[in-house]
Amino acid sequence: MTFWKEVLSGCIGSVLAGLFFVFWYVFLQWYLGVTDVVIGYNWSWQGTNFHPNFDIRNRSKSRAYLLANIAYNTLGQSAPLWIDNKSLWGIELKPGSINHFGEVSAVKGISSIEECFQVQITVRLQTGRMFWLTGQGPGQQGKVVRGFFQRTAFRLRDFIEKKAITME
């Protein structure tokens, strides 16, 4: 091999190695951002007024989020049942915090626990990020994620956190 071919192959190898590590760094940062907020909820009631109680966890070590609103849809319907802009608007999720919101407004149009199970809840952050939740029963967490990749990402993060491997 000539001198210039060796120099060229060394440069190309170094650039590809650098791109490889940059790709994995960007992927890890994206992964941490996707799995840092977890929302669970259950239903509670007083008389005929039904409202969800939220358990919202910010697992990020450095990023704070602001909550926006809650949209309620009936399963299979595209039009929203009701949008609650007052209960969570502007509340800050501090890094590493666990927050319980039990004083959410009652959902209009819901009068029985059976109707609660047919409601899909969408919690939005002020950045535009949305979390879809579908109720399974009183006292149980909803389905936090929708797709295979998100479900796999949350399971991987839970596994890593249980093994106490710090990621940030």
Tell me: the pLDDT tens digits for 70-129? 999 887 777 888 899 999 999 999 999 999 998 899 988 888 888 888 888 889 999 888
Residue-wise pLDDT for 19-75, tens only, equals: 999 999 999 888 888 888 888 888 888 888 899 889 999 988 889 999 999 999 887
Domain boundaries, the chain: 1-34, 37-162
pLDDT of residue 164: 66
The whole-angstrom separation of Cα 44 and Cα 19 is: 51
pLDDT of residue 140: 45
Rg (CA), the chain: 22
Say whether 86 sits in a helix, a strand or coil. coil
Domain 37-162 has CATH 3.40.390: no
The whole-angstrom separation of Cα 68 and Cα 52 is: 16
The whole-angstrom separation of Cα 138 and Cα 145 is: 19
Helices (H) and strands (E) in the chain, counts: 3, 8
CB burial class (10 A; 0-12, 13-18, 19+) of residue 36?
buried
